[in-house]
Amino acid sequence: MFVDTYQRAAQLYSLNQHADALAVLSPLLDRPDADAEALNLAAACAYAMNRADLAQAYWQRAVDGHPAHAGVRNNLGNLYEQLKRFPEAEAMYRRAIDLNADSAEAHYNLGNVLALQDRIVDAERSLRRALELRPDLAPAHYSLGKLLMTQTRADEAQTHFRLAIDARPDWADAHFNLGNAFVALQRWDEAERAYRAAIELNPRLTSAYQALAELLETDGREADLERVYRRLAEQLPELSAAHYNLGQVIYRMTAVAGLERIDEAEAAYRRAIEIQPDYTQAYIALGNLLKEHPGRAHEMLTTFRRAVEVDPNSAEARINLAGGLLRVGAYAEAWPLMESRYDDDWAERPIRVPDLPFAQWRGEPLAGKSMLVIHEQGFGDSFQFCRYLPLLKSQGLATLSVAWPQKDTLLASVDGVDACISDDALHTSPRHDYWCFMMSLPALLETRTIPDVTPYLAADEARIEYWRGRLPAQLPKVGIVAMAEPRESSFEARRWVGAQACMPLLGLPGVRFVNLQKAPFARAQIETLPPHLRPLDLMDDVEDFADTAAIIASLDLVISVDTSVAHLAGALGKPVWILLPSNPCWRWLTEGEDRVWYPKARLFRQTRPNQWDDVIARVADALAEWRDRN
């Protein structure tokens, strides 16, 4: 009777018919002296039905009625472990070992619960004992491998992950963790193979996809990366992050390839939002993609506003909305939002607040006060925004200092600046009443328009005289900044033209070009040009931007991509022609030759993404006309 009933219940349990199995066992469980195996099976059925309380009751009855039965103690320990009642679980496992010292499973379980209590040495000892008893116990190898990884013992860990895989070749998690061990050992090819094996065994293992994606992204293998995210999106179509990441990689790839597939990226972002309507990052990504279409500016702003609505506390959402507003000239609304760039709650914030012993200026009255204004972000930003410095003195500020990363005192030429302080001396500088970031001035001064004060920077006269003597005296002199420089972002790389693309311009007779780039990578490109096309290059003797400013002051015109030299030329009041990609920085708006920041600037925009030939041809024609007039 017992055997038949138990076997029928066990068969139902194996078919996942847990309630039916429990019902069949009922006559056996009603007896005061219920058999340990019947109670054990009943507890397993209850646990599978998410009835942890009932499972605990059955296992406790088994322990009470059969105190020498090691197996039920082990199982009750498992339940306690799942319920995070670790001391009780440990006690059960230890009692099971007392009853059966050769139980590899009990030693393995004890090792796991000790690890969960951060008792690393004892956990390792228990796991190794389990493996002494059963060298092929795959879970023990796996747990020991994970434990060793927490101690940065990756080489030992990978051995145990391999042994776990030898015993269970189809264990996807073991392959994944083997990949992690190889990453720690910087064995990238083996890590990739391990992650790919994990994905093949479990196509829905998101952690393996993400780890593989990180490897591929580090190597810049965008096409492989797209395939990984596309497969993840196919396997888990309900996973919004898969579609978002697919959109990201497609957009990066297409950004440097003429934007042929931009619609695919947009569709992926929109699918991510459809699945997860509060996906802030997807709204931000979609808004930035929409910048590629000047005619969709309203849609871009709506998307950024939605990101802020979804997460009002997201500084990243606010800063992107600020950039979108600046892009359409909505300065009054944009400047306050720009203050999000140094928000403490944003871990990836681009600007860090300095630890200074005086207050950050928030717009308090300035009469009779002193202030330290701090350079931030790129040099071009400071050249662009130092125009606001004189407005501080107009509010009664007594002393104005500027923190500047170079040794030169170029910014001291701005009206009202009393001193330039190097970054090295920032924390040892004299105490001021306030400090302020340079790019915070428009918001705090509540300016509605851009001050038209050019020139507001001036080069040193002695330096101008020196550099003028080193330049040719006859032909019109044109400074040039266009040679490509290495950039971390493919989007940043779109700003640069490159030496070969500039050849039609550099070959224009009757003009002497002068290189204004100091970076070795850019200057090396000059050497690839035919000798008669190479700009005059004096940059070996240029020490800082004060020297560059003096050279610019000695030129007739500057032609530059959107970089710091363009802003420096504009701030000096020098005529400057700026070559812009199809998706330009917010400073240049979206269309036309508008030059709201520098009256003597002229903008040459790409008409096709990543295609400079047309731009260079138009610049060459305009330069020929300019040469003939001069």
End-of-domain residue from the set 411, 444, 477: 444
Domain membership of residue 334 (yes or no) is no
Q: How many folded domains does the chain comprise? A: 3
> 487 pLDDT band (50/70/90 cuts)?
low
Residues 417 and 508 in one domain: no
Q: Which residue has the higher pLDDT, 194 or 69?
A: 194
What is the model's pLDDT at position 553? 97
CATH number at residue 78: 1.25.40.10
Separation CA 392–CA 169 (nearest Å)? 71
Residues 384 and 500 in one domain: no
The average pLDDT across 71-80 equals 86
Domain membership of residue 550 (yes or no) is yes
What is the model's pLDDT at position 402? 95
Domain membership of residue 275 (yes or no) is no
- The answer, yes or no, to whether residue 200 has pLDDT greater than 70, is yes
Q: Would you state the structure tokens that stand for residue 412, as one six-digit string?
A: 């001291």
Domain membership of residue 295 (yes or no) is no
Residues 16 and 115 in one domain: yes
> 108 pLDDT band (50/70/90 cuts)?
very high
Residues 435 and 498 in one domain: no
Q: Would you state the structure tokens that stand for residue 98, as one six-digit string?
A: 């007392």
- The answer, yes or no, to whether residue 39 has pLDDT greater than 90, is no
The answer to whether the Cα torsion of 326, 328, 331, 332 is positive or negative is negative
Among left, alpha and beta (phi > 0; psi -120 to 50; other), residue 219 is: alpha
Interior CA angle at 426 toward 424 and 430, to 5°? 130
Domain membership of residue 220 (yes or no) is no
Lowest mean pLDDT among 45-49, 120-124, 166-170, 616-620: 45-49
Question: What length does the chain have?
Answer: 630
CA distances from 402 to 260, 367, 437 (A): 45, 18, 10
Residues 147 and 84 in one domain: yes
The average pLDDT across 270-296 equals 97
What is the model's pLDDT at position 178? 98
Residues 45 and 188 in one domain: yes
CATH number at residue 422: 3.40.50.720
- The answer, yes or no, to whether residue 3 has pLDDT greater than 80, is no
What is the model's pLDDT at position 424? 80
The average pLDDT across 305-316 equals 97
Q: Do the Cβ atoms of 194 and 164 come closer than 8 Å?
A: no
Residues 390 and 476 in one domain: no
Q: Tell me the residue type at 450.
A: I
The average pLDDT across 343-364 equals 91
- The answer, yes or no, to whether residue 587 has pLDDT greater than 80, is yes
Residues 438 and 487 in one domain: no
- Counting residues of the chain whose pLDDT is more than 90, the rounded percentage is 73
Note down the domain range covering 133.
Answer: 2-200
End-of-domain residue from the set 415, 444, 473: 444
Domain membership of residue 154 (yes or no) is yes
Closest Cα to residue 304, out of 275, 289, 283, 323? 283
Residues 8 and 75 in one domain: yes
Q: Which residue has the higher pLDDT, 235 or 430?
A: 235
Q: Do the Cβ atoms of 281 and 311 come closer than 8 Å?
A: no
Residues 165 and 55 in one domain: yes
What is the model's pLDDT at position 594? 64
CA terminus-to-terminus distance, the chain:
113
- Burial (CB < 10 A; 0-12, 13-18, 19+), residue 357, is exposed
- The answer, yes or no, to whether residue 620 has pLDDT greater than 70, is yes
Three-state secondary structure readout of 223-268 = HHHHHHHHHHHHHCCCCHHHHHHHHHHHHHHHHCCCCCCHHHHHHH
The average pLDDT across 246-260 equals 87
Residues 149 and 181 in one domain: yes
- DSSP, collapsed to helix, strand or coil, labels residue 559 as strand
Q: Do the Cβ atoms of 118 and 151 come closer than 8 Å?
A: no
Count CB neighbours of 587 within 10 A.
18
CA distances from 618 to 381, 513, 515, 581, 600 (A): 27, 17, 20, 14, 18
Q: Do the Cβ atoms of 63 and 40 come closer than 8 Å?
A: no
Q: Would you state the structure tokens that stand for residue 265, as one six-digit string?
A: 């990226």
Query: Which residue has 């888990």 as its token pair?
Result: 236
What is the model's pLDDT at position 1? 54
What is the model's pLDDT at position 293? 92
- The answer, yes or no, to whether residue 438 has pLDDT greater than 60, is yes
What is the model's pLDDT at position 8? 87
The average pLDDT across 205-220 equals 96
- Counting residues of the chain whose pLDDT is more than 70, the rounded percentage is 98
What is the model's pLDDT at position 290? 96
- The answer, yes or no, to whether residue 138 has pLDDT greater than 90, is yes
Domain membership of residue 502 (yes or no) is yes
Rg (CA), the chain: 34
The average pLDDT across 117-126 equals 96
Distance of CA 461 to the CA centre of its chain: 44
Residues 573 and 424 in one domain: no
Dump pLDDT digits (tens) for 320-340.
999 999 999 999 999 999 999
End-of-domain residue from the set 444, 479, 498: 444
Give the DSSP letter string of 337-383. Answer: HHGGGG-TT-TT-S------SSEEPSS---TT-EEEEE--S-HHHHH
- DSSP letter at 150 equals T
CATH number at residue 495: 3.40.50.2000
Give the DSSP letter string of 429-473. Answer: SPP-SEEEEGGGHHHHTT-SS-----------HHHHHHHHTTS-S
Domain membership of residue 288 (yes or no) is no
Give alpha helix (H) positions in 537-576.
545-553, 564-571
Three-state secondary structure readout of 383-425 = HHHHHHHHHHHHCCCCEEEEEECCCCCHHHHCCCCCEEEEHHH
> 614 pLDDT band (50/70/90 cuts)?
very high
Dump pLDDT digits (tens) for 368-387.
999 999 999 889 999 999 99
- The answer, yes or no, to whether residue 566 has pLDDT greater than 90, is yes
- The answer, yes or no, to whether residue 242 has pLDDT greater than 90, is yes
Mean pLDDT of the chain: 92
Lowest mean pLDDT among 289-293, 298-302, 511-515, 590-594: 590-594
Q: Do the Cβ atoms of 366 and 396 come closer than 8 Å?
A: yes
Dump pLDDT digits (tens) for 259-272.
889 999 999 999 99
Separation CA 478–CA 442 (nearest Å)? 32
The average pLDDT across 407-426 equals 88
What is the model's pLDDT at position 327? 94
What is the model's pLDDT at position 564? 95
